[in-house]
Amino acid sequence: MRAIVIKQYGGPDVLAIEARPEPEPKSGHVAVEVKAFGLNRAETYMRAGAWGDVAEITGIECVGTVRSDPDGRFAAGQKVAGLMGGMGRLIDGSYAEIVNVPATNVVPIVTNLPWEEFAAISESYATAWSAVCGNLALLPGQTLVVRGATSALGQAAANIAADLGVRVIATTRNAKRRPMLEAIGASDVLVETPALSKRVRELNPKGVDAVLDVIGNSTVLDSLAMARRGGRVCVVGLLDHVASIPDFNPLFQMPHAGVHFSGFVSWSLGTPEVPLTGIPFQGIVDRVASGAYKAKPAKVFRFEEIQAAHRLMEANEAGGKLVVRL
């Protein structure tokens, strides 16, 4: 089979296509014939060696058909999405024609969506749904700020929240993204600034109900300043990939009005604590197919164009989910 491998840590040019043996059937895993896979910022960090030693074949998600399941849980040819489960970090990942995915991290889906559109959904929407409906527990009529809303994860969160009847304030570094963000349900669009909380407080003097921070540690303290008493802030991304917050002191740097602060990491998807059975994947895919969620990929690449895809992702010019179609 063909696989995209990391021969050494570095920039996009280190990604190379090589012939590799097909993975052997393995109990507890499902062999998936990959039809397409979404790209994720985490894969650029793993490729660069920023997260220590990782698997030679990266990739944390894919969609395709079941090639084999030694335990008989899935039928050959069945359409599935595979995500997380250590792929790309602890075990070879989805940048290949065939991948072994832990069975706990495989979801059967019935859909007629083209593979590239199907591939734009799974990891982003699973993470966004877990944060919006889980950590933030949003209700109709509440207000949510999505920081980093033009990212694939940010767009998924805005889609889900707006569909729930939540008022969405979307932030972006690029004012030209306003029409796109309004089209997916944002009521207000604000351009990112170092102290955006002041602008949010001008519009919402008592603070907002919730903030979903996709940007990361450089904006966390400002995000905490946006929330009302009893409000919630959840960090789900590291678009900035900055170091830890220096000398973080919750008693002095968090508001004194009882803001709830949490994080959701997609690595937890498929674990006993966050089983994929708790996420309405079929319903999410159906809503994408009906047009209720706007989730088409921003750009689709061929397998051979993986280096160009990573360059675009790192340039912060994607404007949504990038997908590779095999």
Q: What is the pLDDT of residues 220-267, one digit of tens each?
A: 999 999 999 999 999 998 777 767 788 888 877 777 678 999 999 899
In 3D space, the residue among 187, 126, 124, 114 whose CA is nearest the CA of residue 152 turns out to be 124
CA distance 98 to 189: 41
Instruction: Give the pairing type, strands 2-6 and 167-172.
Output: unpaired
Number of domains in the chain: 2
Same domain, 24 and 8: yes
Per-residue pLDDT, 202: 94
CA distance 104 to 11: 32
Is 166 part of any domain?
yes
Same domain, 68 and 141: no
Tally helices (H) and strands (E) across the chain.
10, 15
Q: What is the pLDDT of residues 260-308, one digit of tens each?
A: 999 998 999 999 999 999 999 999 999 999 999 999 999 999 999 999 9
Same domain, 33 and 147: no
Per-residue pLDDT, 239: 77
Q: What is the pLDDT of residues 7-34, one digit of tens each?
A: 899 999 999 999 999 999 999 999 999 9
Same domain, 201 and 108: no
Is 283 part of any domain?
no
Q: Is the pLDDT of residue 218 over 90?
A: no
Same domain, 136 and 234: yes
Same domain, 98 and 140: no
Q: What is the pLDDT of residues 188-211, one digit of tens each?
A: 999 999 899 999 999 999 999 999
Same domain, 162 and 210: yes
Is 284 part of any domain?
no
Same domain, 163 and 255: yes
Residue pointed to by tokens 């792929």:
87
Per-residue pLDDT, 238: 77
Same domain, 141 and 229: yes
Is 234 part of any domain?
yes
Q: What is the CATH number of the domain that holds 261?
A: 3.40.50.720
Per-residue pLDDT, 254: 77
**Residue that terminates a domain, selected from 267, 287, 310:** 267
Instruction: Give the pairing type, strands 299-302 and 143-147.
Output: unpaired
User: What is the chain's length?
Assistant: 326
- For 16, 226, 238, the CA distances from 221, given in Å and listed in that order, are 40, 9, 14
Is 291 part of any domain?
no
Same domain, 202 and 163: yes
Residue pointed to by tokens 């079941």:
66
Is 286 part of any domain?
no
Per-residue pLDDT, 194: 87
CA-CA-CA-CA torsion sign (293, 273, 92, 31): negative
Q: What is the pLDDT of residues 140-169, one digit of tens each?
A: 999 999 999 999 999 999 999 999 999 999
Same domain, 137 and 51: no
Average the pLDDT over 85-109 and give the result: 97
Q: Mean pLDDT in the chain?
A: 94
Same domain, 132 and 258: yes
Q: Tell me the pLDDT band of 139, cut-offs 50, 70 and 90.
A: very high
Domain of residue 52, residue span: 2-120+296-325
